[in-house]
Structure 1
Amino acid sequence: MFSRKKQPPIKSLIAQGSRIEGEVHFSEGLRIDGEVVGDICAQPEQPSILVISETARVEGTVHAHHVVIGGQMIGPVHAQFLELQPRARVTGSVHYAALEMHQGAVVAGQLVPAEAAVLVEGKPPLELASSHP
Protein backbone atom coordinates (compact mmCIF):
# COMPACT_ATOMS: atom_id res chain seq x y z
CA MET A 1 0.00 0.00 0.00
CA PHE A 2 2.74 2.46 0.93
CA SER A 3 6.01 2.61 -0.95
CA ARG A 4 8.82 1.42 1.23
CA LYS A 5 11.93 3.37 0.40
CA LYS A 6 15.17 2.37 2.05
CA GLN A 7 15.05 3.68 5.61
CA PRO A 8 17.96 5.52 7.22
CA PRO A 9 19.98 3.38 9.62
CA ILE A 10 19.22 3.42 13.33
CA LYS A 11 22.45 4.66 14.88
CA SER A 12 21.27 5.69 18.36
CA LEU A 13 19.55 3.82 21.17
CA ILE A 14 17.99 4.85 24.46
CA ALA A 15 18.08 1.50 26.22
CA GLN A 16 15.47 -0.09 28.44
CA GLY A 17 16.04 1.08 32.02
CA SER A 18 17.33 4.48 30.85
CA ARG A 19 15.46 7.74 31.45
CA ILE A 20 16.22 10.94 29.52
CA GLU A 21 14.78 14.30 30.60
CA GLY A 22 15.01 17.20 28.15
CA GLU A 23 15.03 17.71 24.40
CA VAL A 24 16.44 14.99 22.17
CA HIS A 25 17.64 15.88 18.67
CA PHE A 26 18.81 13.18 16.27
CA SER A 27 19.65 12.50 12.65
CA GLU A 28 18.92 9.39 10.62
CA GLY A 29 17.53 6.85 13.10
CA LEU A 30 16.78 6.57 16.83
CA ARG A 31 15.30 3.64 18.77
CA ILE A 32 13.83 4.17 22.22
CA ASP A 33 13.42 1.20 24.55
CA GLY A 34 13.54 3.28 27.76
CA GLU A 35 11.82 6.48 28.86
CA VAL A 36 12.05 10.02 27.48
CA VAL A 37 10.40 13.05 29.09
CA GLY A 38 10.83 15.89 26.64
CA ASP A 39 10.52 16.69 22.96
CA ILE A 40 12.13 14.47 20.32
CA CYS A 41 13.03 16.07 16.98
CA ALA A 42 14.75 14.68 13.91
CA GLN A 43 16.81 16.99 11.73
CA PRO A 44 14.34 18.69 9.39
CA GLU A 45 14.41 18.11 5.63
CA GLN A 46 16.31 14.80 6.00
CA PRO A 47 14.92 11.25 6.02
CA SER A 48 14.66 9.96 9.56
CA ILE A 49 13.12 7.10 11.50
CA LEU A 50 12.09 7.03 15.14
CA VAL A 51 11.14 3.71 16.75
CA ILE A 52 9.35 3.81 20.11
CA SER A 53 9.39 0.14 21.13
CA GLU A 54 6.86 -1.80 23.20
CA THR A 55 8.94 -1.22 26.35
CA ALA A 56 9.27 2.54 25.76
CA ARG A 57 7.42 5.48 27.25
CA VAL A 58 7.68 8.96 25.71
CA GLU A 59 6.15 12.12 27.13
CA GLY A 60 6.57 15.15 24.87
CA THR A 61 6.23 16.21 21.25
CA VAL A 62 7.65 14.04 18.48
CA HIS A 63 8.74 15.27 15.01
CA ALA A 64 10.26 12.79 12.54
CA HIS A 65 9.78 11.66 8.95
CA HIS A 66 8.88 8.03 9.80
CA VAL A 67 7.63 7.16 13.29
CA VAL A 68 6.94 3.63 14.53
CA ILE A 69 5.14 3.42 17.88
CA GLY A 70 4.86 0.16 19.76
CA GLY A 71 4.76 1.48 23.32
CA GLN A 72 3.29 4.43 25.20
CA MET A 73 3.34 7.93 23.71
CA ILE A 74 1.93 10.94 25.60
CA GLY A 75 1.90 14.10 23.50
CA PRO A 76 1.48 15.14 19.88
CA VAL A 77 3.12 13.21 17.05
CA HIS A 78 4.09 14.80 13.71
CA ALA A 79 5.19 12.38 10.97
CA GLN A 80 5.06 11.90 7.23
CA PHE A 81 4.59 8.17 7.72
CA LEU A 82 3.24 6.88 11.04
CA GLU A 83 3.02 3.21 11.98
CA LEU A 84 1.07 2.25 15.10
CA GLN A 85 1.86 -1.30 16.18
CA PRO A 86 -0.63 -3.54 18.07
CA ARG A 87 0.47 -2.45 21.56
CA ALA A 88 0.77 1.27 20.76
CA ARG A 89 -0.97 3.63 23.18
CA VAL A 90 -1.00 7.25 22.03
CA THR A 91 -2.51 10.06 24.10
CA GLY A 92 -2.42 13.24 22.01
CA SER A 93 -3.02 14.50 18.51
CA VAL A 94 -1.49 12.60 15.63
CA HIS A 95 -0.49 14.53 12.48
CA TYR A 96 0.46 12.39 9.47
CA ALA A 97 0.56 12.14 5.69
CA ALA A 98 0.30 8.33 5.67
CA LEU A 99 -0.93 6.12 8.53
CA GLU A 100 -0.67 2.39 9.15
CA MET A 101 -2.58 1.33 12.27
CA HIS A 102 -2.51 -2.29 13.42
CA GLN A 103 -5.39 -3.95 15.23
CA GLY A 104 -5.07 -3.32 18.97
CA ALA A 105 -3.40 0.11 18.69
CA VAL A 106 -5.18 2.88 20.60
CA VAL A 107 -5.20 6.64 19.94
CA ALA A 108 -6.83 8.91 22.51
CA GLY A 109 -6.72 12.17 20.58
CA GLN A 110 -7.25 13.67 17.16
CA LEU A 111 -6.12 12.00 13.95
CA VAL A 112 -5.13 14.85 11.61
CA PRO A 113 -4.20 13.85 8.04
CA ALA A 114 -1.95 16.21 6.07
CA GLU A 115 -4.90 17.36 3.93
CA ALA A 116 -6.80 18.47 7.05
CA ALA A 117 -3.82 20.55 8.15
CA VAL A 118 -4.34 22.73 5.06
CA LEU A 119 -7.93 23.40 6.13
CA VAL A 120 -6.79 24.37 9.61
CA GLU A 121 -4.52 27.04 8.11
CA GLY A 122 -7.61 28.93 6.95
CA LYS A 123 -7.84 27.90 3.32
CA PRO A 124 -11.43 27.22 2.27
CA PRO A 125 -12.40 23.69 1.21
CA LEU A 126 -13.01 22.99 -2.47
CA GLU A 127 -16.64 23.09 -3.55
CA LEU A 128 -18.17 21.04 -6.35
CA ALA A 129 -19.75 23.01 -9.19
CA SER A 130 -22.94 20.97 -8.79
CA SER A 131 -23.36 22.21 -5.20
CA HIS A 132 -24.37 25.69 -6.45
CA PRO A 133 -28.00 26.15 -7.65
Structure 2
Amino acid sequence: MAFQSGNTTTLISKESEIVGDVNFSGDLEIQGIIRGNIYAKADKSASVRIVEGGQVEGEIHSPRIIVNGEIRGDVHSSEHVELAAKANVEGNVHYNLIEMVKGAQLNGSLIYAGAAKKTVAIKPSQGAIELGQ
Protein backbone atom coordinates (compact mmCIF):
# COMPACT_ATOMS: atom_id res chain seq x y z
CA MET A 1 0.00 0.00 0.00
CA ALA A 2 1.45 3.37 -0.97
CA PHE A 3 1.00 6.66 0.78
CA GLN A 4 -1.76 8.91 -0.50
CA SER A 5 -0.47 11.66 -2.80
CA GLY A 6 -1.08 15.22 -1.70
CA ASN A 7 -0.50 14.50 2.01
CA THR A 8 2.42 15.88 3.92
CA THR A 9 4.86 13.28 5.22
CA THR A 10 6.51 13.39 8.63
CA LEU A 11 9.70 11.33 8.82
CA ILE A 12 11.22 9.93 12.00
CA SER A 13 14.64 9.09 10.59
CA LYS A 14 16.76 6.03 11.33
CA GLU A 15 18.90 7.52 14.11
CA SER A 16 16.04 9.46 15.78
CA GLU A 17 14.28 8.61 19.04
CA ILE A 18 11.15 10.37 20.24
CA VAL A 19 9.93 9.98 23.82
CA GLY A 20 6.31 11.07 24.24
CA ASP A 21 3.07 11.00 22.32
CA VAL A 22 2.98 11.96 18.63
CA ASN A 23 -0.05 13.66 17.05
CA PHE A 24 0.09 13.98 13.28
CA SER A 25 -1.88 14.47 10.09
CA GLY A 26 -1.02 13.21 6.62
CA ASP A 27 1.56 10.44 6.52
CA LEU A 28 4.00 9.39 9.25
CA GLU A 29 7.00 7.23 8.31
CA ILE A 30 8.99 5.73 11.18
CA GLN A 31 12.53 4.55 10.57
CA GLY A 32 13.70 5.30 14.12
CA ILE A 33 12.11 4.78 17.55
CA ILE A 34 8.99 6.28 19.13
CA ARG A 35 8.42 5.59 22.83
CA GLY A 36 4.87 6.86 23.25
CA ASN A 37 1.44 6.68 21.66
CA ILE A 38 0.73 7.78 18.08
CA TYR A 39 -2.53 9.54 17.18
CA ALA A 40 -3.69 10.60 13.72
CA LYS A 41 -5.66 13.83 13.83
CA ALA A 42 -9.17 13.81 12.35
CA ASP A 43 -7.86 12.92 8.90
CA LYS A 44 -9.44 9.95 7.11
CA SER A 45 -6.47 9.67 4.74
CA ALA A 46 -3.80 9.59 7.48
CA SER A 47 -1.37 6.67 7.49
CA VAL A 48 1.46 5.35 9.64
CA ARG A 49 4.27 3.34 8.07
CA ILE A 50 6.84 1.58 10.23
CA VAL A 51 9.70 0.43 8.02
CA GLU A 52 12.13 -2.41 8.74
CA GLY A 53 14.26 -1.33 11.72
CA GLY A 54 11.60 1.14 12.95
CA GLN A 55 10.15 0.65 16.44
CA VAL A 56 7.11 1.88 18.35
CA GLU A 57 6.60 1.30 22.07
CA GLY A 58 3.02 2.45 22.58
CA GLU A 59 -0.39 2.41 20.96
CA ILE A 60 -1.07 3.48 17.38
CA HIS A 61 -4.38 5.07 16.32
CA SER A 62 -4.62 5.74 12.57
CA PRO A 63 -6.96 4.88 9.69
CA ARG A 64 -4.17 3.15 7.74
CA ILE A 65 -1.18 1.37 9.26
CA ILE A 66 1.64 -0.46 7.46
CA VAL A 67 4.06 -2.41 9.63
CA ASN A 68 7.40 -3.86 8.55
CA GLY A 69 9.13 -3.08 11.86
CA GLU A 70 8.35 -3.63 15.55
CA ILE A 71 5.41 -2.54 17.69
CA ARG A 72 5.02 -3.15 21.42
CA GLY A 73 1.49 -1.97 22.05
CA ASP A 74 -2.01 -2.12 20.61
CA VAL A 75 -2.81 -1.08 17.05
CA HIS A 76 -6.13 0.63 16.24
CA SER A 77 -7.06 1.08 12.58
CA SER A 78 -10.43 2.22 11.26
CA GLU A 79 -9.61 1.25 7.67
CA HIS A 80 -6.62 -0.93 6.74
CA VAL A 81 -3.72 -2.67 8.49
CA GLU A 82 -0.90 -4.32 6.56
CA LEU A 83 1.56 -6.58 8.38
CA ALA A 84 4.50 -7.04 6.02
CA ALA A 85 7.06 -9.85 6.07
CA LYS A 86 9.31 -8.33 8.77
CA ALA A 87 6.44 -7.11 11.01
CA ASN A 88 6.65 -8.02 14.69
CA VAL A 89 3.67 -6.90 16.79
CA GLU A 90 3.35 -7.58 20.51
CA GLY A 91 -0.17 -6.37 21.23
CA ASN A 92 -3.73 -6.51 19.98
CA VAL A 93 -4.62 -5.39 16.46
CA HIS A 94 -8.01 -3.69 16.07
CA TYR A 95 -8.84 -3.63 12.37
CA ASN A 96 -11.52 -3.21 9.74
CA LEU A 97 -9.48 -4.78 6.92
CA ILE A 98 -6.20 -6.62 7.51
CA GLU A 99 -3.51 -7.99 5.23
CA MET A 100 -0.77 -10.28 6.58
CA VAL A 101 2.21 -11.41 4.54
CA LYS A 102 4.06 -14.67 5.16
CA GLY A 103 6.67 -14.06 7.86
CA ALA A 104 4.72 -11.43 9.83
CA GLN A 105 4.62 -12.13 13.57
CA LEU A 106 1.77 -11.26 15.92
CA ASN A 107 1.72 -12.00 19.63
CA GLY A 108 -1.75 -10.79 20.58
CA SER A 109 -5.31 -10.83 19.32
CA LEU A 110 -6.87 -9.76 16.05
CA ILE A 111 -10.02 -7.82 16.92
CA TYR A 112 -12.42 -6.99 14.11
CA ALA A 113 -13.70 -3.44 14.50
CA GLY A 114 -16.67 -3.94 12.14
CA ALA A 115 -20.27 -4.75 12.99
CA ALA A 116 -19.79 -8.43 13.93
CA LYS A 117 -17.17 -7.79 16.66
CA LYS A 118 -15.35 -11.12 16.45
CA THR A 119 -12.01 -11.82 18.13
CA VAL A 120 -9.25 -14.06 16.86
CA ALA A 121 -6.76 -15.08 19.54
CA ILE A 122 -3.45 -16.41 18.29
CA LYS A 123 -1.45 -18.48 20.76
CA PRO A 124 1.98 -19.04 19.16
CA SER A 125 3.21 -21.33 21.93
CA GLN A 126 0.34 -23.76 21.31
CA GLY A 127 0.07 -23.20 17.56
CA ALA A 128 -3.71 -22.77 17.84
CA ILE A 129 -6.15 -20.13 16.71
CA GLU A 130 -9.35 -19.46 18.64
CA LEU A 131 -12.37 -17.65 17.22
CA GLY A 132 -14.92 -16.02 19.48
CA GLN A 133 -17.54 -13.28 19.73
TM over 0.5: yes
In the aligned structure 2, how far is the partner of 1:10 from the partner of 1:50? 12
TM-score (norm. length: structure 1): 0.80
Q: Does 1:7 align with 2:11?
A: no
Q: Which runs of 5+ in 1 are unaligned?
A: 126-133
Could you say if the C-alpha distance between residues 119 and 106 of structure 1 is closer, same or farther in structure 2, counting changes exceeding 3 Å?
Answer: closer
Is the 2:25–2:43 Cα contact (8 Å) retained in structure 1? no
Q: 1:72 aligns with which of 58, 70, 73?
A: 70
Deviation at 1:115, TM superposition (A): 3.2
Q: How many pairs are equivalent?
A: 118
Amino acid at match of 2:87: A
Identify the structure with the greater helix proportion: 1
Percent identity, please. Answer: 36
Q: Which runs of 4+ in 1 moved over 6 A?
A: none
Tell me the SS of whatever aligns to 1:115.
coil
The alignment yields a C-alpha RMSD, in angstroms, of: 2.2
TM-score (norm. length: structure 2): 0.80
- Higher Cα Rg: structure 1 or 2? 1
Q: Which runs of 5+ in 2 are unaligned?
A: 120-132
Amino acid at match of 2:113: A
- What do residues 63-119 of structure 1 show as CA deviations (whole Å, max 9, x unaligned)? 001100000000000012000000000000000000000000000000001237747
Deviation at 1:28, TM superposition (A): 0.9
